[in-house]
Amino acid sequence: MSQVPPSGRDDLPRGSVQRGIKLAGLPLGFAGRTALGIGKRIGGRSAEIVAQEIQQRTADQVFRVLGELKGGAMKLGQALSIFEAALPPELAGPYRATLTKLQESAPPLPATTVHRVLAADLGDNWRDSFESFDDMPAAAASIGQVHRAVWQDGRRVAVKIQYPGAGKALLNDFTQLARIGRLFGVLMPGLEVRPMLDELRDRVADELDYYLEAQSQRAFAAAYAGDPDIYVPDVVTETDHVLVTEWMDGTPLSKIISDGSQEDRNRAGILLTRFLFSGPARAGLLHADPHPGNFRLLADGRLGVLDFGAVDRLPDGLPPLFGRLLRIMHDPDPDIVEVERVLREDNFLRPGIAVDLEALRAFLAPMAEPSAVETFKFSREWMRMEAGRVTTDPNAAGIARKFNLPPSYVLIHRVSTAGIGVLCQLECEGPFRAEVLRWVPGYAE
């Protein structure tokens, strides 16, 4: 459990100057390390070894600063951490622990600030709502932290408290991070950070709205009530800056990634896939923040789900486009002309944009691979191979640049790519094809 430092801050560092200085220091630190690296090369060390050192030290500094700042900085760090599986092992290994910590926790706020928020939202007698309240946070994340408590009716609850100044800090961070986006290319070559920042910025209002989050969580909890494999805690009450839900014990997915048995990895992987794919069909909603800190493997084998701040509303379920494309690509001799037609029909390829059909087939085939066979093994090696193919193969890179992502597909794309990243971190194996056939519309038709 996190410990509050004696000199704890009263809230998020809100001033754009204060936060900007920390973020601006990232490229300056990189420049200093690069200059030092040049000196080492002149001194006879190989360029490859020096470049590796620079990348590792840059990663350590970047993820440490993003975690310290919380807000939008930490949200980006959490999003990036999912793609750790795509990095070469000699680079990912040294700071995997930093990434895991970023997925699970951040430096907490002092109790005085927590009490101030509770008094403002629940009234000066806020303690009357609880039999007990633990001032030490059980978890601290990007825009809020969670405390253990016992509700007035005896239920164990999680009390999520939004950081004062979180909204302003989020927007300021995204602006600052966009200015230094080039730096992230050093950590994860080929990863486009700007679209990720734009998408995170577009979701700020939803992430800060605890009433909307409570509504989403209630819908998920009702849809999965009594489910043998998925558990969503019920909401107890909510205000502008406080969200109280039933407490959920369990092993964080980040812990399963680092120390879990193969059996636990496989089970977590198949249940995560089932939850993400089934949400639109069962609840009309898609959980849109699938990083490991938001999931627990419970003692009874169920997958517990947390944090419903980022949710895509899909009342008609997932679009049938993906099922139709998968069905075609699973054919030994896929009708690539039909694939192009379907992509143009849904505006993934704009009018006037010409594509090489063979290059399109080669680009899409690996994406259909996990659901083309009865069982599939996700691994860091597979993800590194796919990431390398997209970033180094001129034909694949050319196709990727021609794709247009319609706004209605932005969050679906985020969930699919991030979900695959988590599955590769889990190094899990299972019957993923069956989940796709069951929950993705358009395939059977």
Active site residues: 289
Give the bridge partners for 157, in sequence order. 149, 246
Residue found by looking up tokens 């980006």 in the block? 76
E strand segments, 173-302: 230-231, 235-238, 242-246, 251-252, 285-287, 295-297
Q: How far apart are CA 53 and CA 39, in angstroms?
A: 13
Tell me, what amino acid is at 272? L
Tell me, what amino acid is at 74? M
Q: How far apart are CA 354 and CA 331, in angstroms?
A: 24
Q: How far apart are CA 266 and CA 301, in angstroms?
A: 11
Q: How far apart are CA 279 and CA 122, in angstroms?
A: 32
* Residues 138 and 192 sit within 8 Å (Cβ to Cβ): no
DSSP notation for 286-342? EE----GGGEEE-TTSPEEE---SSEEE-TT-S-THHHHHHHHHTSSS--HHHHHHH
The residues near 64 (Cβ < 8 Å, ≥ 6 apart) are 98
Whether the CA torsion 425, 87, 322, 347 is positive or negative: it is positive
If 0-12 CB within 10 Å is exposed, 13-18 middle and 19+ buried, where does residue 229 land? Answer: middle
Neighbouring CB atoms inside 10 A of 202's CB total 13
Tell me, what amino acid is at 258? S
Query: How far out from the chain centre does Cα 158 lie?
Result: 21
- Grouping H, G, I as helix, E, B as strand and the rest as coil, residue 178 is helix
